[in-house]
A and B are shown apart, each in its own frame.
Chain A
Amino acid sequence: KNEVEQSPQNLTAQEGEFITINCSYSVGISALHWLQQHPGGGIVSLFMLSSGKKKHGRLIATINIQEKHSSLHITASHPRDSAVYICAAPQGAQKLVFGQGTRLTINP
């Protein structure tokens, strides 16, 4: 069992829909990362959060440290949001443990 689990693994939605991707982790962490990987491989760091909620444009990330759970929400989804979304938890001082990713497809 991976220490970082994401759900769903695949998600297809229509443009404009509200999207939620979930991440559960079993390691004790101080912060959780959300990353976006576009076709072709490039990865962009979206958020690093240790409590509460962070918002950037149409993206919102929340975390509940007690429940070891985080969610990534996308409001008013758009086809350009189609990507793989990955959560990652630090393990020790320098290692990140990654979830398997959620492949999101937004259809026009």
Chain B
Amino acid sequence: ETGVTQTPRHLVMGMTNKKSLKCEQHLGHNAMYWYKQSAKKPLELMFVYNFKEQTENNSVPSRFSPECPNSSHLFLHLHTLQPEDSALYLCASSQVLRETQYFGPGTRLLVL
């Protein structure tokens, strides 16, 4: 247990569906991150939120829409995804930027 939870753990969706991934951290951290891990590729940073403000969008397609309502919660809204978006999506948090990041267990997403 790292203090970062993600739901759901597994998700199968069609290309026309809309779904959301949820991340919650119980560590009192101020920075939260979304990462994508595709098969046989390094982890890729998607978004960074610092004190609820988005500070990094790593050229992510608009079919991925993040939301950070408060410092403890982070969502990733998904719509009209493509099969190549199938991957493990990991959330992480850190006390402040550049400090050790604590990762959630990830959501394994399959887009059909």
Contact = CB atoms under 8 A, between A and B. Distances in A.
Contacts of B55: 94
Interface residues of B, number: 27
Interface of chain A, main secondary structure: strand
Contacts, number: 59
Nearest to A100: B42
A45 B108 CA distance: 20
Contact of B103 (A31, A40, A44, A101): A44
A2 B31 CA distance: 26
B66 interface: no
A45 B97 contact: no
Contacts of A31: 98
Contact of B45 (A2, A40, A44, A96): A96
Contacts of B98: 30-31, 90, 93-94
Contacts of A86: 42-43
Given A2-B42, A94-B31, A95-B56, A41 B108 contact: yes
A99 B41 CA distance: 9
Interface of A: 2, 4, 30-31, 33, 35, 40-45, 48, 86, 88, 90, 93-101
